Structure 1
Amino acid sequence: MTAPEDAIGRLAASDRLLVALDFDGTLSPLEDEPMDARMLPAARVAVDALVAAPETVVAFVSGRSLVDLRVIAEHGDDARVLLAGSHGAEFWTPGEGLVSHGEAEADVRVRDTLRAHAERATSHLDGVWIEPKTFGFGVHTRRANAADAAEANRVVDELVASEAPHWRRRTGHNIVEFAFRHEGKDSAVAELRERVGATAVLFAGDDVTDEDAIASLGPDDLGVRVGDGPSAAAVRVPDIAALAALLNRLAEDRTRALD
């Protein structure tokens, strides 16, 4: 692991910095009701400080559908934070708005049919919820007991294997996601990097899907893991408050270095 102070000092001097951040578990605590998620006050302060820093672009990179990400991030049309939703299949940028990689009618029909089948197959399992997503759906089991969670994942895995074996499957904290788009947070960060002309990237996340982005980073970039779990990140912080402190320090050092 790299000392945070050394990593921040290097990033603070970069010509154009992209700070790409997962949302759930990274800026907001994980919630039993996913739409209740909101940034912690300390995280919001840190994000605002980075948005105000010179030659710095902030983006939220999430598996959430873009419409839901905008709600939980309290993201208005005048926001300066870029968004990558649906693991990088949807983007929102200031002055341009929504940019989607598209939905074929046949894929949408399969999505709607398979989602309905998953809802019926899990309706008897307490605490299991099927979350609609733009390019698929998620099976939430945070509120379910272990047996019901395992059964929900088993029956939905079988459904997808039978009806849409080409779909991408991802796991996270008490969720399994299925999608007909195959973008990942690695491709999301790559597209954001190109869009903003970043010479360095900081990416922070707390979950398995975030490791795609962390593993894709180059020698001039920095990956930050929030919390426990195996990670390729160079820096690890224990929680959201500690990440906010790191981001605030980066904003201060960058303002000082580039002003």
Structure 2
Amino acid sequence: MMSMAKGKRVVVFLDYDGTLSPIVDDPDCAFMSDSMRSAVDKVAQHFPTCIISGRRRDKVYKFVKLTNVYYVGSHGMDIMAPVKSLDHGINTSLHEQAIDEKGNKAVLFQPAEEFLPIIEEVYSELERKTKEINGVMVENNKFCISVHFRRVDEVDWRSLEDQVINTIKEYPSLCITRGRKVIEIRPSIKWDKGRALEYLLEILGFASDQTLPLYIGDDRTDEDAFKVLQRRGQGYSIIVSSIPKDTKASYSLRDPSEVMSFLLLLSKWKKHSDSSRK
């Protein structure tokens, strides 16, 4: 992998939960370690680095607390990028001016913005309908909703799923996907982490064949990004899993600790590569 990176512009894409932080029973406690934060920081000092999460973009930033990475929330439906991206021929009709985590001018791209009122309505309805099920957590991720049942007794799983399905039947513009003990509700638009990956490569000026994207993720939603890299025949996709999985990823790491080791190795390789050219 390192030999293929020589002469290329490496761009790093990372999922958050299960990749940079462990999967925990309480999603609000999915904190990354200081050592992982340091590893991500070191990588971001050498390569453009983006965290693409299903969570709210601002929530991921509060977990990570680094200003030298790009943040994408809601499975790619909430993207903040530098103003310079406007120079790359992208359709800017859905762009809004914003201020990034550094206080710099930025552009905000939210292809599902029109769904915000519906998402808010469904979120309130699901909170009300599931409040009698012990252990359930309904999380508003701005452009999507996560119904976590990791702490729910298994005998209640079917009842919870039925509640979610029956609720969403009333909203044909929304769809349901499933992750690791979580049910996701999101807008039925042709947008996912794979499309967000392509958008970011284009808007950041890294769409050429001289770019080597690396994408690391652990969940089903990351498969969309893996498929994009496979179709492009460009870059490396890495799944994080301790067990064999049916995946489009080319490589695997077992857990966040191995992800951290890989990131440290990547930054060390870049530092050595740069010093050897001096």
Same fold (TM over 0.5): yes
1:214 is matched with 226
- Whole-Å Cα distance in 2 between the matches of residues 97 and 152 of structure 1? 40
Structure 1: 4+ residue segments shifted above 4 A = 102-105
TM-score, normalization by structure 2 = 0.81
- Whole-Å Cα distance in 2 between the matches of residues 88 and 96 of structure 1? 20
Q: Give the 3-state SS of the residue equivalent to 1:192 in structure 2.
A: helix
* Counterpart amino acid of residue 123 in structure 1: K
Q: Give the 3-state SS of the residue equivalent to 1:92 in structure 2.
A: strand
2:52 to 52, 61, 78: 61
Q: How does 1:160-171 map to 2 (within 5 A)?
A: 160-161=168-169, 163-171=170-178
2:98 is matched with none
Is the counterpart of residue 74 in structure 1 residue 65 in structure 2?
Answer: yes
Alpha carbons of structure 1 residues 108 and 219: separation in structure 2 relative to 1, 3 Å: closer
- Whole-Å Cα distance in 2 between the matches of residues 70 and 181 of structure 1? 26
Report the RMSD for the aligned CA atoms in angstroms.
1.9
Question: Higher relative CO (CA 8 A, sep ≥ 6), structure 1 or 2?
Answer: 1
2:93 is matched with none
- Whole-Å Cα distance in 1 between the matches of residues 113 and 15 of structure 2? 27
1:50 to 43, 49, 54: 43
The 8 Å contact of residues 168 and 178 in structure 1, kept in 2 or not, is answered as yes
Alpha carbons of structure 1 residues 14 and 139: separation in structure 2 relative to 1, 3 Å: farther
TM-score, normalization by structure 1 = 0.87
1:166 CA displacement:
2.8
1:52 CA displacement:
1.7
Structure 1: 5+ residue stretches without partners: 1-6
The alignment of Structure 1 onto Structure 2 pairs a total of residues equal to 245
Q: Give the 3-state SS of the residue equivalent to 2:185 in structure 1.
A: strand
* Counterpart amino acid of residue 46 in structure 1: A
Bigger mean CA deviation after superposition, 111-120 or 236-245? 111-120
The 8 Å contact of residues 37 and 64 in structure 2, kept in 1 or not, is answered as no
Deviation string 1:61-118 (CA, Å, 9 cap, x unpaired) is: 001111211112224xxx110011111111233533461315556x333222222221
Is the counterpart of residue 31 in structure 1 residue 24 in structure 2?
Answer: yes
Q: Give the 3-state SS of the residue equivalent to 1:209 in structure 2.
A: helix
Deviation string 1:127-153 (CA, Å, 9 cap, x unpaired) is: 011111212311110110112122111
